[in-house]
C-alpha cells in the first residue's frame, strides 16, 4: 500500500485547470513515481506531521554524511511548538521530562544516534529552572543501516513533554523511508547539526573554553566550581550532567562578582547534590556543556 501526501505550493499558471484538478494530477504523478521506483515505501525527505494540541512532530531526512571514513544516513526529529510553549533537553534541569525516542520496527537500521542541539535555560514556573527548547527544534539523527546497499525505513515512537502555563505529555508515531539524497530539509538538518555542542578536551575549544573544574568544601558541603572563558561581551550559560541519567545535579549558577569576569572568565558553581543512592563523586566523570549565542562545547571532566 502506498500513501502519498499532496501538499505544497500550487503553480501560478494553471492553464485553466482548477486547483482540485492540479492537486489530483500531482498526487497521481507522485504515486506513479513511487510505484515505478521501488517495491518499498516511497522515499521522501519528510514525513507527515503528527499533531498534538500546542505541538507537532515529524521526521526529516537529507543526504548521507561522512566523517573519518565512515558514512551514515542523516535524519532528524523536528518538533514544532505553539508560541510560548517549550520542550526539554536530554537533561531537563530542576523539573521536566526529557524526550525519549524508540526506533523499534525500523527497517534495515542497525543503530540510531540522537544528537542534541544547544539548549536554553528557562523559568519552570515553580521557582526553579528547566533546560530545553522554545519554538521549533530539530534533533539530528545519525542512522547506520544494516546493509548500505538496501533501502532503509525509519520508525520512531516519540514521547515528550510540552509546557506553556501547564505541562502536558505528548506522543508521536512517525515513519519515513529514507531517500539518501539531498532535498528540501538539508538546510534545516545542517543548521541543527551546527548547534550540537562540539566535544573538546578540558582547556580547549577556542573562543569558548571550559578551562578548569575543581571541587571545594564550604561549611562541610561539597561544591563544584567551573571556570569558563569567552569574550567579555558574549553571554555564556553552563549545564552539568552526571555520568549516568539517574544523577540529578543542580543547575550551575554564575558568580557575577567573581574576579576575572571583566577579562572574559566566568565562574559557575553548583552543590554536589542529587547523586543516586550509593554513588560516589570521587573519580566520577561529569558532562559539562557551555553555550553561547554562536557556539557550544561539551567537556567530559573527571572529578578528582
Strands of 136-144's sheet, edge to edge?
Answer: 50-52, 55-67, 70-81, 136-144, 111-114
Q: What is the pLDDT of residue 66?
A: 84
DSSP assignments along 222-286, one per residue: EEEEEEEE--TTS--EEEEE-SSTT--PPPPEE-TT-TTGGGTEEEEEEES--PPTT---TTPEE
Which CATH number covers residue 150?
2.60.40.1250
Ranges in the chain, pLDDT < 50: 1-41
Of the candidates 288, 120, 88, 64, the one whose C-alpha atom is nearest the C-alpha of residue 198 is 288
Domain membership flag for residue 15: no
Domain membership flag for residue 39: no
Q: Which domain holds residue 164?
A: 50-195
DSSP state of 293: S
Which CATH number covers residue 247?
2.60.40
Clarify whether residues 152 and 258 are in a common domain: no
Domain membership flag for residue 168: yes
Distances (CA, A) of 70 to 112, 143, 148, 191, 231: 14, 11, 12, 21, 35
- C-alpha 26/C-alpha 4 separation (Å) is 10
Q: What is the pLDDT of residue 200?
A: 97
Clarify whether residues 66 and 171 are in a common domain: yes
Query: Domains in the chain: how many in total?
Result: 2
Q: What is the pLDDT of residue 43?
A: 65
Q: What is the pLDDT of residue 257?
A: 75
Clarify whether residues 130 and 218 are in a common domain: no
Q: What is the pLDDT of residue 42?
A: 58
Clarify whether residues 58 and 188 are in a common domain: yes
Of the candidates 234, 286, 229, the one whose C-alpha atom is nearest the C-alpha of residue 258 is 229
Q: What is the pLDDT of residue 241?
A: 97
Q: What is the pLDDT of residue 93?
A: 93
Cell 523536528 sits on residue: 78
Q: What is the pLDDT of residue 24?
A: 40
Of 180, 195, 210, which residue constitutes the final position of a domain? 195
Of 171, 195, 219, which residue constitutes the final position of a domain? 195
Domain membership flag for residue 19: no
Domain membership flag for residue 191: yes
Clarify whether residues 71 and 187 are in a common domain: yes
Domain membership flag for residue 13: no
Full-model pTM: 0.84
Of 175, 195, 215, which residue constitutes the final position of a domain? 195
Clarify whether residues 54 and 190 are in a common domain: yes
Clarify whether residues 108 and 95 are in a common domain: yes
Amino acid at each position: 500500500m502506498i500513501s502519498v501526501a499532496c501538499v505544497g505550493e500550487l503553480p501560478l499558471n494553471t492553464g485553466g485547470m482548477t486547483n482540485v484538478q492540479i492537486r489530483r494530477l500531482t498526487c497521481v504523478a507522485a504515486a506513479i513515481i513511487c510505484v515505478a521506483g521501488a517495491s518499498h515505501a516511497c522515499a521522501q525527505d519528510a514525513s507527515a506531521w503528527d499533531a498534538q494540541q500546542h505541538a507537532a512532530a515529524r521526521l526529516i531526512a537529507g543526504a548521507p554524511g561522512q566523517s573519518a571514513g565512515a558514512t551514515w544516513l542523516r535524519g532528524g526529529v523536528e518538533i514544532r511548538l505553539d508560541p510560548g510553549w517549550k520542550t526539554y533537553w536530554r537533561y531537563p534541569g530542576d523539573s521536566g521530562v526529557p524526550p525519549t525516542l524508540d526506533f523499534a520496527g525500523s527497517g534495515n537500521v542497525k543503530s540510531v544516534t540522537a544528537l542534541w542541539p544547544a539548549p536554553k535555560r528557562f523559568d519552570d514556573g515553580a521557582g526553579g529552572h528547566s533546560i530545553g527548547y522554545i519554538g521549533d527544534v530539530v534533533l539530528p539523527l545519525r542512522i547506520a543501516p544494516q546493509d548500505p546497499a538496501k533501502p532503509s525505513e525509519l520508525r520512531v515512537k516519540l514521547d515528550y513533554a510540552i509546557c506553556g502555563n501547564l505541562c502536558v505529555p505528548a506522543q508521536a508515531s512517525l515513519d519515513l523511508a529514507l531517500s539518501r539524497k539531498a532535498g528540501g530539509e538539508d538546510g534545516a538538518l545542517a543548521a541543527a547539526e551546527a548547534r550540537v555542542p562540539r566535544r573538546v578536551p578540558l582547556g580547549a575549544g577556542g573562543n569558548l573554553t571550559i578551562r578548569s573544574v575543581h571541587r571545594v568544601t564550604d561549611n562541610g558541603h561539597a561544591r563544584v566550581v567551573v571556570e569558563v572563558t569567552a569574550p567579555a561581551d558574549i553571554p555564556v550559560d553552563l549545564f552539568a550532567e552526571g555520568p549516568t541519567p539517574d544523577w540529578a545535579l543542580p543547575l550551575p549558577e554564575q558568580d557575577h562578582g567573581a574576579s576575572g569576569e571583566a577579562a572574559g572568565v566566568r565562574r559557575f558553581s553548583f552543590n554536589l547534590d542529587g547523586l543516586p543512592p550509593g554513588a560516589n563523586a570521587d573519580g566520577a566523570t561529569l558532562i559539562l556543556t557551555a553555550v553561547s549565542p554562536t557556539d557550544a562545547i561539551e567537556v567530559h571532566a573527571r572529578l578528582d
